[in-house]
Amino acid sequence: MKLHILGIAGTFMGGVAALARELGHDVEGSDQAVYPPMSTQLERLGIALRQGYSPENISADCDEIVVGNALSRGNPAVEQVLDDGRRYTSGAQWLSERVLPGRDTLAVAGTHGKTTTTTILTWLLEAAGRAPGFLIGGVAEDFGASARIGAGREFVVEADEYDTAFFDKRSKFVHYRPLVAILNNLEYDHADIFPDVAAIQRQFHHLVRTVPRRGRLIVNGEDARLAEVLAMGCWTPVERFGLDGGDYEWSARLIEADGSAFAVLHRGVEIGEARWPLLGRHNVMNALAALAAANAVGVEVASVLPALANFRSVKRRLELIGEAAGVTVYDDFAHHPTAIETTLSGLRARVGAARIVVAMEPRSNSMRLGAHAEALAPSLREADAVVFLHRPELAWDAGKVVAGLRGEGVAVADADALIAALRERVRAGDHVVFMSNGGFDGAPRRFFAALREG
């Protein structure tokens, strides 16, 4: 079968493309913004990429069009597909029909940490010899890809609450029918499609309804909104995880304050210690969720804890680009104030009194709409200086955020000005974190190259 994937450079749709190619399908695709790491993965797979959504980019001999959720009515390619009466589906539906049947699906849902937790869980199952399939919303360093079919019974999928497609406004995750579902956390996000937190909770409840009674729900016991979701109805055994002294089935004791070492407890009994490269309390929570989910499908947790020492996470999750002129540069996929705060808190615990400089692009739909504007300055309290990329189309005043910062702040209009502003401010010993869930005009590596050139 020949497929054309509309929105192929997105992290989810790029994974669908990789799976389809592995299954032997002929795959092509188009997108309006193609950038690494997904573009690199697709090119390596030999998948033809076409820039833009011109109807001519879709080959006449394609059997099916897989439509990403970034496309809506009015898009020229979408309109042509509908006018021509061509067969089309969504990425989530394609996955549920072509990959997941006959597998034990483990789905990772939550406002934050989905990609990292999905990758940890996949790595633990791999360490246990399960050879899982997976679809991760990013390129996993340990696997060199965002998706694979896998030879084992388990399939791990990052389960997004964002809507499925222009013709299916349910959350993607309701398609997956998991045996085990992780509910990592729940906050307000996706302001372009959800009016309030209650609307998101309703979608999470739809996910809960699909998990069989022989399965397992792994739930953040510290999250009151998730408790409210379960109170709507729950028919599946629940195991909770947390750190703050609650009565949880899974908990951790920090050995190092930065989260790089911790002990794991199951029902109050310590079963082992983990030392790993990741930082932050939030990542310890991610690890607990993944360990509990692995245990739910029969993995002995104590036997796989040592594997965390070699875990390399996902590209663009506080990814170290390098050090030049005494300045350490990171690339981070930040999209929500809570994620920003926890990432910077973890880095602060590691670097101590060293200066942290943040380059921020408010790019997600919720960020651009201003849904998180009031929470943004407090989330950056660990930063000593912040440079905002305030593009002209941003719908809110970054000046108010800059004024509320603890440290120095400035807003600039484009990536060139951002790089120049950073070069004026950084000095040896600084840690510079680029935060964006988009391509950022290549700014992180451009800045690093400028540092190396002097």
| Fold assignment, 319-453 | Protein-Tyrosine Phosphatase; Chain A (3.90.190)
- Delimiting residues of CATH 3.90.190.20 domain(s) in the chain: 319-453
Residue range 410-432, pLDDT digits in tens: 888 899 999 999 999 999 999 99
Burial (CB count <10 Å: 0-12, 13-18, 19+), residue 224: exposed
Q: pLDDT tens-digit profile of 311-330? A: 987 767 778 899 999 999 99
Is 1.10.8.10 the CATH number for 2-93? no
Report the alpha-carbon distance of residue 29 to residue 51 in Å, rounded: 9
At 80 the pLDDT is 97
Report how far residue 284's alpha carbon sits from residue 278's, in angstroms, rounded to the nearest whole number: 8
**Using CA atoms, how far apart are residues 30 and 34, in angstroms rounded to an integer?**
9
Number of Cα atoms under 13 Å in the Cβ half of residue 326 = 8
Instruction: With a cut of 90, say whether residue 335 has pLDDT above it.
Output: no
Res. 374: pLDDT tops 90? no
Percent of the chain with pLDDT over 90: 68
User: Could you report the per-residue pLDDT of 226-264, keeping only the tens digit for each?
Assistant: 999 999 999 999 999 999 677 899 999 999 988 999 999
For 271-315, how does the pLDDT look when each residue is reduced to its tens digit (9 = 90+)? 999 999 888 888 999 999 999 999 999 999 999 999 999 998 776
Secondary structure E strands in 184-326: 216-220, 238-242, 250-254, 261-266, 269-275, 319-324
- Global pTM reads 0.79
- Range(s) of the chain covered by CATH 3.40.1190.10: 100-310
CATH 3.40.50.720 domain extents, the chain? 2-93
Domain 100-310 coded CATH 3.40.50.720: no
The per-residue pLDDT for range 391-402, each reduced to its tens digit, is 876 766 777 777
User: 365: pLDDT confidence band, cut at 50, 70 and 90?
Assistant: low
CA–CA separation, 266 and 240 (whole Å): 10
pLDDT at 362 over 90: no
Average pLDDT, the chain: 91
129-176 tens-digit pLDDT: 999 999 998 888 889 889 999 999 999 999 999 999 999 999 999 999
**What is the structure's pLDDT at 110?**
94
Q: How confident is the model at residue 39 (pLDDT cuts 50, 70, 90)?
A: confident
**Mean pLDDT of the region 97-113:** 96
Q: Is the pLDDT of residue 372 over 60?
A: no
| Residue 276, pLDDT score | 94
The arithmetic mean of pLDDT across residues 58-76, rounded, is 96
